[in-house]
Structure 1
Amino acid sequence: MGRRAWLIIAIPAVTLFIAFWLLPMAKLAGLGAATPQGMDVSAYWLVLTQPRYWQSLANTVGLSLAATLATLAIALPVSRFLARHPAFPGRRVLMSLLIFPLAFPGVVVGFLVILATGRQGVLNTLAKAISGEPMVLAYGMAGLFIGYLYFLLPRTIGVLMAAVEGIDKHWLEAAQTLGASPWRRFVDIELPALTSALTAAGAMCFATAMGAFGTVFTLGTKIDVLPITIYDEFTNYANIPVAAALSVVLGLATWAALYIANTLASRSAQRR
């Protein structure tokens, strides 16, 4: 490809990058350095020194990490089963049901969680009928955790299924011939081969959960996670510098997790 052709491709790409990413990010970072009304320090300093913002960040990271680990723990056996049994009855219907949540935005996912675990939900109705005691999980961290699983599982299962299908079956057959048990075949062959896919899927889950807003907003604004804190500062309090600073912190935390995951995945690929 000649120099002129490269310029034809590069100039629009660079222009879009500058206009739609670099300049807005620079503006966002600059707003975070401003001084909020009634304060004598920058918004960054305020965010770093206020315990409530640290608590919000800790809740966000902790919940995202828990949802990521739970998603991987559920998705891995499901993905292995679907990849190893491509022709069992009902597979197409099951795959359609697993993929169906991808069509829903976060607001709908939150509404479904309320219908399942809210005050008038199925779970609460069953709990009252069985024990006489109410059981409401929506509107709090438990409900949000369920919502995260709902929209993270379809994405993760798709990634891991492709990775399982890519494992050389001759390795598994050779190990079986040598007398290795199913558990040993999984630990010694499948798990190392799936490390990169698990890392990538985990990073995707974590980043998605960190920035999820629609589900959180539907379940209740009293949930103390960073997207809601940013929304409150921007919309309810018109505290734009603090909202911008918190947005930068959220972006950096997510980027750091993705960078670590990419590094681990690269090292795992080099060892293989």
Structure 2
Amino acid sequence: MMAAPHRAAPLTSRGGRRAALAGRRAWLPIAIPAATLFIAFWLLPMAKLAGLGAATPQGMESSAYWLVVTQPRYWQSLANTVALSLGATLATLAIALPVSRFLARHPHFPGRRALMALLLFPLAFPGVVVGFLVILTTGRQGVLNTLSRALTGEPTVLAYGMAGLFIGYLYFLLPRTIGVLMAAVEGIDKQWLEAAQTLGARPWRRFVDIELPALSSALTAAGAMCFATAMGAFGTVFTLGTRIDVLPITIYDEFTHYANIPVAAALSVVLGLATWAVLYAANAFAGRAAHGR
């Protein structure tokens, strides 16, 4: 009577191995095309780009990476890009959070659909169109300059410098951020807020103690998205970039005007690594916040 379980154990073990093997084989039709696309469209181009950056430009004795690291003008371009992207990210979050909370908390006020359509409308525009709109608003013939001359007699032109690019970044970052934060606000359990209100907590205390911790992951994700988008934005910069020194324009100049492909590749790798580092840190922070909640 006791021998039967001992004879059945190998069969069970073999059956488990067969099921595991069948499960792995079931993934092959999906894994092979995915791996092929990853290698062909990401790994090989990135390896080629990194290899180009390791080449030695004409007339130089060291690799393009060493040139990029030792030249102050490239560091200045990177610092401008990071500072502008970080400032635009913080400003976008500061504007989008109250707007998102209002829209999520008031789903039925008159004109809400029209307002939502207007807020999301910039998503349909490419960066060049956004830059053109900034010129129409704050350029030499723009609305702001016209009003400034009429009221003070002095011109006010923002479009062709960092201020104009900052406005352009806000224009195309806000719709994306509002959409992400609205969904997060709607996902907060209203019973928490009602319980806090019953206990006498003021609105700002409910926001700080309940809403803000619940929104920390969404704010981090939205901020990372804004920063990465601003770091790599080119169309808006190209349209406005008469007095703008940011890394996408520097890469474009090195590649097209000077035919300095190794330096352009090295700068592209630096831009990608800087953006990846911020995204990695944001993802780690969001993960810790989600586990600690």
> Normalised by the size of structure 1, how large is the TM-score?
0.99
Report the counterpart of residue 130 of structure 1 in structure 2.
151
Maintained 8 Å contact 1:221/1:228: no
Report the counterpart of residue 61 of structure 1 in structure 2.
82
Q: What amino acid is the match of 1:238?
A: A
- Structure 1 segments, 4+ long, off by >2 Å, are 1-5
Report the counterpart of residue 45 of structure 1 in structure 2.
66
1:44-71 deviation per Cα after TM superposition (whole angstroms, max 9, x unaligned): 0000000000000000000000000000
Q: What amino acid is the match of 1:154?
A: P
1:168-227 deviation per Cα after TM superposition (whole angstroms, max 9, x unaligned): 000000000000000000000000000000000000000000000000000124310000
**How many Å separate the matches in 1 of 2:58 and 2:101?**
55
Residues 1:224 and 2:218 are matched in the alignment:
no
Residues 1:70 and 2:59 are matched in the alignment:
no
1:116-149 deviation per Cα after TM superposition (whole angstroms, max 9, x unaligned): 0000000000000000100000010000000000
Report the counterpart of residue 257 of structure 1 in structure 2.
278
**How many Å separate the matches in 2 of 1:220 and 1:206?**
19
Q: Map 1:73-222 to 2 at 5 A.
A: 73-222=94-243
Partner-residue secondary structure (3-state), 1:29: helix
**How many Å separate the matches in 2 of 1:109 and 1:2?**
49
* Residue number among 42, 45, 55 corresponding to 1:34 in the alignment: 55
* Residue number among 1, 5, 11 corresponding to 2:32 in the alignment: 11
Deviation, structure 1 residue 271: 1.0
Partner-residue secondary structure (3-state), 1:108: helix
Partner-residue secondary structure (3-state), 1:157: helix
**How many Å separate the matches in 1 of 2:284 and 2:177?**
20
Q: How many residues align?
A: 272
Return 5+ residue gaps in structure 2 as ranges: 1-21
**How many Å separate the matches in 2 of 1:268 and 1:10?**
31
Q: What amino acid is the match of 2:97?
A: L
Return 5+ residue gaps in structure 1 as ranges: none
Report the counterpart of residue 41 of structure 2 in structure 1.
20
Deviation, structure 1 residue 93: 0.2
**How many Å separate the matches in 2 of 1:118 and 1:230?**
25
Q: Percent identity?
A: 89
Q: What amino acid is the match of 1:48?
A: V
Partner-residue secondary structure (3-state), 2:56: coil
Report the counterpart of residue 238 of structure 1 in structure 2.
259
Maintained 8 Å contact 2:161/2:242: no
Q: What amino acid is the match of 1:147?
A: G
**How many Å separate the matches in 1 of 2:32 and 2:275?**
29
Q: What amino acid is the match of 1:143?
A: G
**How many Å separate the matches in 1 of 2:166 and 2:187?**
31
1:53-98 deviation per Cα after TM superposition (whole angstroms, max 9, x unaligned): 0000000000000000000000000000000000000000000000
Deviation, structure 1 residue 157: 0.2
**How many Å separate the matches in 1 of 2:23 and 2:29?**
10
Q: What amino acid is the match of 1:36?
A: P
**How many Å separate the matches in 1 of 2:76 and 2:137?**
28
**How many Å separate the matches in 1 of 2:39 and 2:274?**
23
Deviation, structure 1 residue 6: 1.1
Deviation, structure 1 residue 270: 1.0
